[in-house]
Chains A and B, each alone.
Chain A
Amino acid sequence: MRLAEHQYRSVSAIRGPLLFLEKVFAARLGELVRIDAPDGRTLTGEVLKIFGDQVLIQVFGGTQGLDTKRTSVNFSDAVMRAPLGAGVLGRVFDGSFRPIDDLPMFIPEFRRPVIGAPINPVARAHPEEFIETGFSTIDGLNTLVKGQKLPIFTCAGLPAREMTEQLLHQARLPDGGPFVLVFVALGLTHFEYQFYRQTLEHMQSRFVAFVNLADDPVVERLLAPRLALTVAEDLAFRQEMDVLVIITDMTNYCDALREISTAREELPGRRGYPGHMYSDLASLYERAGRIHGRKGSVTLLPTVTMPEDDITHPIPDLTGYITEGQLVLSRELHQKGIYPPIDVLPSLSRLMQHGIGKGQTRSDHRDLSNQLYRTYAKGCDLRRLEAVVGRDGMLAEDRKLLDFADRFEAGFVHQGNKRRTIDETLDTAQALLDDFREVAR
């Protein structure tokens, strides 16, 4: 512990978001610094590297206007902490936790480091409580459970926004209660953000939002989700709420990570993304979960826009390796006018097996979902054949499978804005399968 605040005016270089400082005494890794710019602005930064008395600082906010002569840096002797307390609810902050809703800053009850400590695997309670989202393709075939992290893989131009928004309205917890929402906008355009803002206004005070728009500082894009997850952990594990964290869009986060990594002269990996991107993403996604003996939960639904609709692109690829499944949106279904355009074949919920069946949903759930998958997969396989030989050249049996695939998409996947309860979903599934067997006979 240092007794006095340390102040330095020994900036030796400024490169992109990075500041090099000389002749610093006893800096700490990750130490929070305050930077006083010559024009009177105050910025914050974090210590990235220390070589003897030389210190490398990452600046949150733009470095425009900083110089080597008059800029001064104050060391705080502490790592970055997020202010926490019941006062965060109903508020909108920027990527550095400054309020942007024209209200004064709330009075924090205490502060916690924004880099959360990992949950001890032994302390984790396995997620197995069913969440009814109202979407048949999710509830019936890719069931979401409390404490899960399930990303939405979308392509540019698909209605992921509408889906997310609808999900907020209609998701029900097992006890029927609503979620507390932690919303993180990363690199969104003002146009996109307008859309979500209306939704937030309807949530009254059951939300916290962190907004970093497309023209806001890039470094804050890396900070905002960490602030949000620190808040989410506090709401869930101290204040015992069920928290749903929505981060949109992780692709912007990863691009920011690449930008900063390049400035730091790190070795680029696939497509220029840094080699530590897996660990970095894991440090965010893994903060979802439940803990034995505590009531709350953190459920995470990040949105990932797949560049070039490519699911093997590093961003969706690494995300899929960390999250417990994925919901994949399909351009083809969207063009057929099907909403939500969830392609169930590549979609998956890894935690589904424990969240369905007797006591959770219905005892016939597992069986119905397996049959739907199998029959639909067969039908999709046959579509290729149909393209070559035409429907007339096919066996009667195969034509029925093709019909089934069409009716499954129109009757089960497609539901427009209508919410379906889990019973309605499973009944629809049963009816489709009954019809199919009837015709097949």
Chain B
Amino acid sequence: MKGTVTSISGATVCVDLADLKIGDRVFVGTSHLTGEVVRIDDKIATVQVFEENRGLGIGESVTTAGGPLTVALGPGLLGGIFDGLQRPLPLLLENSGDFVSSGQNPFPLDRKKSWAVTTNNKPGDHLHSGEAFAKVREGHIEHLLLMPQDGTLQQLEEGRLTLENPVATLADKQPLYGWHSWPVRKARPYQSKLPPTRPLVTGQRCLDFLFPLLKGGVAMVPGGFGTGKTVLEQTIAKFADVDVVVYVGCGERGNEMAGLLDEFGELEDPRTKRPLKERTIIVANTSNMPVAARESSIFTAVTMAEYYRDMGLDVLFLADSLSRWAEALREISSALEEMPGEDGYPTYLGSRLSGFIERAGVVKTLSGGQGSLSMILAVSPPGADFAEPVTQACLRVSGALYMLDTQLAHRRHFPAINWTQSFSLYSDTAMAHFVEEHEEWAKLQARCRDILQREDALREVAEVVGMEGLQDGDRLLMRTAEKIRLDFLCQNSFTEDAFAAPKSTIESITTLVAEHDQLSAALANGALLDDLLKEADHAPR
């Protein structure tokens, strides 16, 4: 079916193609730019074009892809780097040089690479959609090949196969390949959602100890510019104890993506000792790449994350930053001349966002296993004003808040997580797990919070009376609080200290609190603080 372009306003294009559905993918113009149908009025469909479309002319032809925007799911995604439409960037580089050009649609996976396929099934088995019919080894994981639909197997292949060779044939003669495609805006199905229970170790002392996250949980990280959102996200991407990491650079800096790529190629996963790259999928849609593709990038990424979750794996999804996604949504909405809501964002921002965030969670998969998809989402509030719509919409649906503080960042206290305003609703559940290993965990957490809170109060007093005017006990508390802040909560992502195992985390805080208790006991016995401190500072460590 063919139509033509009837009007163009930036990336919003009207076409006179009949029988389109909302969400259908179309190819616009002589250079086959990818677009998505966003509105239909009688015989005219409005299309959001995902690629740079300067030079597109009225009257150029438009064809339909016959279905919605999809991603290809199969072995070979791990270690891949894609743009917001799942186009493999290394292949684009090979095909069209150092700058991304429009109108290219290479297949996202390597079709020629062969995989060792094994199976536990036999011809005649009836399988349901989402159950595994075969498996391959992809790096450190067992990659299950999942049924895209219900069916009875008629024939099965084993041995080294490429993605072009059918792995199985169904009773109705339909071939099954090692890959299938899935619409990005449709959440992948599961049997049931389960409550998250297992802690997700990030290796950040502040998070693991004060604001723990669970596998299947959602945390948001709002912070003004320069507060270290990206560094925190990337550090967690390196060290989190999960099987697969999906990292989306959504409307962020190109140089940072380049740094991430370099680093992930060199570093190794502390658990499996394999290159970090092998457990990571990167989706890079930098701020200067087309806005509409930025909007779709988080859906492209989360669909790939769900795919690995469906194999019974623990997947971590990191997005940097959701605000850029929301802004893309706003730009598209404004081009469609929709009625604006708060700050010009469309009124469906909240529902669109919660629909997306609800794709996280622990699930019982269709094949009966248990997989989890956790999300850590950076938000960039304009002017570091947390009252703005995107931050507020995220807050309503996330289980943990890691608020980054500009003042802390200026003092080079990194990660700049504000300990009074951040929270984790998972704390109690996570505690149950931590407590099994370390009985003191809950008690220490309460002590630590108490000391930090009292420091805040004391600082206000000190501002009036001066440090000299404080009692010895209070001065000791301020000293301990400072130690907790500098030696425990601060963690340099560029040194060996970047990852702290839970065991060492608990040890360091135990030491700090024990020293405090010891010194307070001495004070109670009539010793003078200055003498005690002199001793403590000169004591061999």
Contacts and interface: CB of A to CB of B under 8 A. Distances in A.
Contacts of A148: 255
A25 to B, nearest CB: 8
Interface in B218-260: 224-226, 230, 249, 251, 253-259
Contacts of B55: 28-31, 78-79
Contacts of A350: 226, 230, 256
Given A278-B327, A324-B253, A126 B287 contact: no
A313 B462 CA distance: 34
Interface in A283-317: 283, 286-289, 291-292, 294, 312-314, 317
A21 to B, nearest CB: 13
B382 interface: yes
Contacts of A79: 54-55
B262 interface: yes
A394 B466 contact: yes
Contact of B327 (A117, A275, A314): A275
A279 B291 CA distance: 7
Q: Among A31, A269, A291, A345, which residue has the most Cβ atoms of chain B within 10 A? A: A269
A395 B469 CA distance: 9
Q: Among A29, A127, A269, which residue has the most Cβ atoms of chain B within 10 A? A: A29
Q: Among B255, B344, B464, which residue has the most Cβ atoms of chain A within 10 A? A: B255
Contacts of B328: 279
Interface of B: 6-10, 52-59, 81, 89-90, 92-93, 97-101, 224-226, 230, 249, 251, 253-259, 261-262, 284, 286-289, 291, 324, 327-328, 330-331, 334, 340, 343-344, 380, 382-385, 409-412, 462-469, 494
Nearest to B7: A51
A10 to B, nearest CB: 15
Contacts of B380: 321
A320 interface: yes
A269 B467 CA distance: 47
Contacts of A120: 89, 92-93, 98-100
Contacts of A313: 383
Given A278-B324, A286-B254, A389 B466 contact: yes
A123 B259 contact: no
A321 B9 CA distance: 27
Contacts of A174: none
A351 B218 CA distance: 29
A40 interface: no
A27 B57 contact: yes
B255 A324 contact: yes
A123 B254 CA distance: 10
B93 A122 contact: yes
A33 to B, nearest CB: 14
A190 to B, nearest CB: 33
A121 B261 contact: yes
Contact of B59 (A26, A289, A345): A26
A53 B463 CA distance: 71
A388 B99 contact: no
Q: Among B9, B98, B409, B468, which residue has the most Cβ atoms of chain A within 10 A? A: B98
Contacts, number: 209
Contacts of A348: 226, 409
Contacts of B259: 126, 351, 354
Given A385-B463, A388-B464, A286 B288 contact: yes
Given A121-B286, A279-B287, A395 B467 contact: yes
A5 to B, nearest CB: 15
A11 B376 CA distance: 53
Contact of A117 (B101, B257, B494): B101
A412 B24 CA distance: 61
A325 interface: yes
Given A28-B57, A283-B288, A270 B412 contact: no
Interface residues of A, number: 81
Interface of A: 26-31, 48-53, 78-79, 113, 115-127, 147-148, 237, 266-270, 275-276, 278-279, 282-283, 286-289, 291-292, 294, 312-314, 317-318, 320-322, 324-326, 345-346, 348, 350-351, 353-354, 366, 370, 373-374, 377, 381, 384-385, 388-389, 393-395, 398
A115 B54 contact: yes
A118 B55 CA distance: 16
A118 B255 CA distance: 12
Nearest to B288: A286
Contacts of A124: 254-255, 257-258
A118 B288 contact: yes
Given A118-B99, A278-B287, 20 more contacts: A28-B56, A51-B9, A113-B54, A118-B288, A120-B92, A120-B98, A120-B99, A121-B81, A126-B255, A148-B255, A237-B98, A279-B291, A291-B98, A292-B98, A313-B383, A318-B382, A321-B225, A377-B411, A385-B466, A393-B468
A298 B494 CA distance: 26
Given A27-B58, A120-B99, A115 B286 contact: no
B331 A275 contact: yes
5 contacts: A50-B58, A121-B257, A148-B255, A313-B383, A320-B225
Q: Which 8 A-B pairs have the closest CB atoms?
A: A312-B383, A30-B54, A282-B287, A124-B258, A286-B288, A320-B225, A117-B99, A393-B466
Contacts of B411: 345, 373-374, 377, 381
Contacts of B288: 118, 279, 282-283, 286-287
Contacts of A312: 382-385
B226 A325 contact: yes
A118 B52 CA distance: 10
Nearest to B249: A121
Q: Among A125, A237, A348, A366, which residue has the most Cβ atoms of chain B within 10 A? A: A348
Contact of A351 (B54, B226, B255, B464): B255
Contacts of B257: 121, 124
B310 to A, nearest CB: 28
A29 B255 contact: no
A122 B90 contact: yes
A326 B334 contact: no
Contact of B289 (A52, A118, A275, A287): A118
B494 to A, nearest CB: 5
B8 A50 contact: yes
Contacts of A266: 334
A52 B287 contact: no
Contact of A394 (B10, B59, B468): B468
A170 to B, nearest CB: 24
A11 to B, nearest CB: 18
A345 B408 CA distance: 10
A312 B380 CA distance: 12
Given A79-B54, A312-B383, A289 B225 contact: no
Nearest to A278: B327
A349 B54 CA distance: 35
